[in-house]
Structure 1
Amino acid sequence: MATFDWQRHFDALAQGVERLRAGSEIALLSFSAEHSEFIRFNRGKVRQIGTVSQGKLTLRLIDGMRQAYSTMTVGGQLDADMHEASEALAVLRASLREAPEDPHLLFGQSPWTQSTQRSGRLPEPQALVRTVAECAQGLDFVGFYAGGTMARGFASSVGSRGWYEVDNFNFSWSLYDRSGRAIKSEYAGDAWDDAVFAHKVEEAAARLPILGRTPRVLMPGRYRTYLTASALGSLIESVAYEGFSARGQATSRSVLYKLHKGEAVFDPRVTITEELGLGITPGFNDDGYLRESVPLVTNGRGAQRLTDARSAREYGLTPNGALAEEPASSLAMEGGDLRGEDVLSALDTGLYVGNLWYVNFSDRMHCRMTGMTRFATFWVENGRIVAPVEAMRFDDSLYRLLGDQLERLDAEPELMLNDSTWGERATGGMTLPGVLAKSFELTL
């Protein structure tokens, strides 16, 4: 989608920095860039539209057991960018003279080469505006689209070179009724299809009349519940940030500490992997290691941990390419046998939860989370949606939901790309199934 050749520009900067090295210095370069379209909709019409093209280079200089970093914006003019990189290198070299030794410094010292380039099929902005206008006619449609090209690069003095460049999009929207209630939907991937988008809008619109019915008021208690992949994603996202971290486990701070210690288990059908084969995140990290697919939960039991270089040095472990904070960034959970068309009949009577909101931990040691139901939470009777449910607070443990309360898993896990645009569009995401649970605890 982007016409500028960021890979060639990065390679030229890496070669220039390599020529400026002195003595025993090691240089590690990390690069990120994007060319993205952003469109915000309100009532099915464009409220805000724009394009962002940006690049960022992080230069890391290492000499012995000392290191220093500097991050700069790159504008695409090689002479100007190389001049700024040269000045940054000089500042880093001077700072190393006063820097203390880093006892946990570790970086990849074996050369490798990896390249991933994947072109997608993305909608042209004006075409997307027309499509939304047609599909959202007569609907109170509010949404946000972000799509385009993202690039990540790595280069080191030991001879490693990595490049990752993909096209993808993420579109989330809500349909509101007169009561102010809404149904939220999402569409993400690398191959846009007008028909798929139209179907998702129609599917949500078909449930709008139900939102206008008198809400069902539920008393606090435990209810048979189906959590969509999006709702489960709100729970798993909270756990994925640090739950599988080697550092978190070593310091007893991991929210899945009991799982990794064997003191708690999930249902044997639960298998979770940091799956690099999804292709939604680079296969290398900023420490110069190739990333690996890592089994995190196997048959309901804790398996391996995500280990970055610093944790490996500090705790005597082997790095497996994890990112600096050791989050799961390409998480895949296996599905089961529940087909989408059978969800309501399998639920029979109980809660259908489309989304969760304000999720946080109420008891970290027992992986207990609290938050609010929101957006398309319905009461179901005899396999039919009969009424919306007013927002309620839940408080329950993931060990219960994916443990003895797990009844069935969706047959086809859903891809959900990371929708963060803070500073830049993020890579990564997860594939998750929906979950039918025997009970889910509502507290007020």
Structure 2
Amino acid sequence: MMQAYFDELAAFLGTCLRGTEQYKCWLAAEESDFVRFNRSAIRQPGHVRQIHLSLSLIDGLRHAKATITLAGDMYADRTQLADAVSRLREQLRDLPEDPHLLYATDVHSTQHIIASRLPKSSAIVDEVLAAAQGHDLVGILAAGPVFRGFANSFGQRNWHETASFNLDWSLYHARDKAVKTTYAGFDWDSAAFAARFANAVEQLKILQREPVSIHPGEYRAYLTPTALGEIVGMLNWDGVSEKALRTRQSPLRRMRDEGVRLSDAVSLAEDTAGGLAPAFQEDGFIKPPSVPLIEQGRLVGSLVSPRTAKEYGIATNGAGAGEGMSSTTLAGGTLPMSDVLAELDTGIFVSNLWYLNFSDRANGRLTGMTRFATFWVEGGRIKAPLNVMRFDDSLFQLLGERLLGLTREREMLIDTDTYGARSTASVLLPGALVGDMEFVR
């Protein structure tokens, strides 16, 4: 059992300390099945079991950190752990004191375990392959338990364990035309998967029509939750960071410094209670169930890491070192998703956005590309696929005066990132109808 192993590991680390030394550690582990698909066939199946431990040794205001890969067996790992502590001890001698060091010393132990309710990955794969017959499907399935743990020499123990799946796939037509879809969660629902796949097939049929191009300019647009998620995700580039707001590097700095507002419909929060990420962070601080960031268009909060808290003499709210959201939620609106095309009338249905970046960070201006199934709509009906376009527009416009409405229904999207390890980040978002979105060459 991974939790029992972690408890034993934490206890052993306590025996390695000398004098006034303290330690804190963060465990990130997983037991994941990965299956990669291409041309509707299995191309790369595999299983990954990995355990990474980030260990910090602290003595007064001096601290040193190392990340090590473990076997998961204390008999095999003891020597490596003891050696890591010894190496960190040697480093401490040459390190200066850190005036902004802050870590939890009050003990708040927690446990959150969601037992696996998933079928065997082979059963999921069989359903995917059966549905994909006659289509060109490319994608990846990641499934299995993910573990996070925190421990320190004060006796605090925090454990987070969930078992989930994430299926990210595209139905390919030709050239740059494809329909991209994701399905993720704790429970595999065959009917829900079939419905998503059927919707993707319907969009694939539309992609077979002759694509159209439009002139640069401002167009009425509908952003699906996936597309809106790309825009909201850019706020993790220092947007809601307290440090970035104070140093005026945040793209939302005008909201604090000048009182600029977004639409009254926009209410954004870090919703740890409703997300997938653990309710504790790498310094041992517990995250509150929710941190309001924007309420009815007004910037009302930020994410404060322990270092920022120490530097500015304020309280931390459990943010990680990067002060980014890991359990993002945007409140829904009043627009039924079934009425989206009718309300859009004539304009662009944007399924996905890609390659986003800031074109003017100081003024919250973004640029990026449309991709996959983006359609031209006339009179509330999809007419044709749209050739790739670049947009360049301001957050203060898209989510401000040009925002016509948010959908009543919201979609939970789990981060598909598996680079190095499976992500636990998630977003819960509606779709957005925008009066004018600026597209350029």
TM-score when normalising by structure 2: 0.98
Structure-to-structure mapping, 1:23-422, within 5 angstroms? 23-178=19-174, 180-292=176-288, 293-422=290-419
Partners of 2:174 and 2:49 in 1: CA distance: 39
Partners of 1:241 and 1:164 in 2: CA distance: 26
Shift of 1:311: 0.7
Partners of 1:46 and 1:219 in 2: CA distance: 41
Three-state SS of the structure 2 residue aligned to 1:168 is strand
Shift of 1:240: 2.1
Shift of 1:184: 0.8
Partners of 1:210 and 1:31 in 2: CA distance: 46
Question: Contact 1:179 / 1:212 at 8 angstroms: preserved in 2?
Answer: no
* Deviation readout 1:261-293 (Å, 9 max, x if unpaired): 243211011000001111410111111110122
Three-state SS of the structure 1 residue aligned to 2:102 is coil
Three-state SS of the structure 2 residue aligned to 1:411 is strand
Partners of 1:129 and 1:171 in 2: CA distance: 10
Deviation above 3 Å: which 4+ runs of structure 1? Answer: none
Partners of 2:412 and 2:75 in 1: CA distance: 41
Q: Report the residue type matching 1:51 in the other structure.
A: H
Partners of 1:310 and 1:38 in 2: CA distance: 37
* Deviation readout 1:200-231 (Å, 9 max, x if unpaired): 11111012221121222211110010000101
Partners of 1:298 and 1:262 in 2: CA distance: 17
In the superposition, relative to structure 1, how do residues 57 and 179 fare at CA in structure 2: closer, same or farther (>3 Å)?
closer
TM-score when normalising by structure 1: 0.97
Shift of 1:180: 4.8
In structure 2, the gaps of 5 or more residues are none
Shift of 1:406: 0.7
Three-state SS of the structure 2 residue aligned to 1:289 is coil
Shift of 1:58: 1.6
Shift of 1:421: 0.9
Q: How many residues align?
A: 440
Comparing 232-241 with 332-341, greater Cα deviation is found at 232-241
Q: Report the residue type matching 1:116 in the other structure.
A: H
Shift of 1:82: 1.6
Question: Contact 1:241 / 1:328 at 8 angstroms: preserved in 2?
Answer: no
Question: Contact 2:354 / 2:368 at 8 angstroms: preserved in 1?
Answer: yes
Question: Contact 2:370 / 2:390 at 8 angstroms: preserved in 1?
Answer: yes
Q: Percent identity?
A: 44
Three-state SS of the structure 1 residue aligned to 2:400 is coil
Three-state SS of the structure 2 residue aligned to 1:31 is strand
Comparing 255-264 with 231-240, greater Cα deviation is found at 255-264
Q: Report the residue type matching 2:281 in the other structure.
A: N
Shift of 1:6: 1.0
Shift of 1:139: 0.9
Shift of 1:122: 2.3
Partners of 2:161 and 2:339 in 1: CA distance: 38
Partners of 1:300 and 1:236 in 2: CA distance: 14
* Deviation readout 1:357-380 (Å, 9 max, x if unpaired): 111110101111111111111011
Q: Report the residue type matching 1:107 in the other structure.
A: Y
* Deviation readout 1:412-435 (Å, 9 max, x if unpaired): 211111111111111111111100
Partners of 1:196 and 1:432 in 2: CA distance: 18
Q: Report the residue type matching 1:21 in the other structure.
A: L
* Deviation readout 1:116-164 (Å, 9 max, x if unpaired): 0012432422212211121111111111111111000001112211000
2:426 is matched with which residue? 429
Give RMSD over aligned pairs: 1.2
Structure-to-structure mapping, 1:12-23, within 5 angstroms? 12-23=8-19
Q: Report the residue type matching 1:139 in the other structure.
A: H
In the superposition, relative to structure 1, how do residues 180 and 441 fare at CA in structure 2: closer, same or farther (>3 Å)?
closer
Comparing 361-370 with 116-125, greater Cα deviation is found at 116-125
Partners of 2:330 and 2:237 in 1: CA distance: 15
In the superposition, relative to structure 1, how do residues 25 and 180 fare at CA in structure 2: closer, same or farther (>3 Å)?
closer
Shift of 1:189: 1.0
In the superposition, relative to structure 1, how do residues 180 and 295 fare at CA in structure 2: closer, same or farther (>3 Å)?
closer
Q: Report the residue type matching 1:356 in the other structure.
A: L
Partners of 1:128 and 1:330 in 2: CA distance: 26
Q: Report the residue type matching 2:366 in the other structure.
A: M
Question: Contact 1:147 / 1:169 at 8 angstroms: preserved in 2?
Answer: yes
Question: Contact 1:262 / 1:302 at 8 angstroms: preserved in 2?
Answer: no
Question: Contact 1:149 / 1:165 at 8 angstroms: preserved in 2?
Answer: yes
Three-state SS of the structure 1 residue aligned to 2:374 is strand
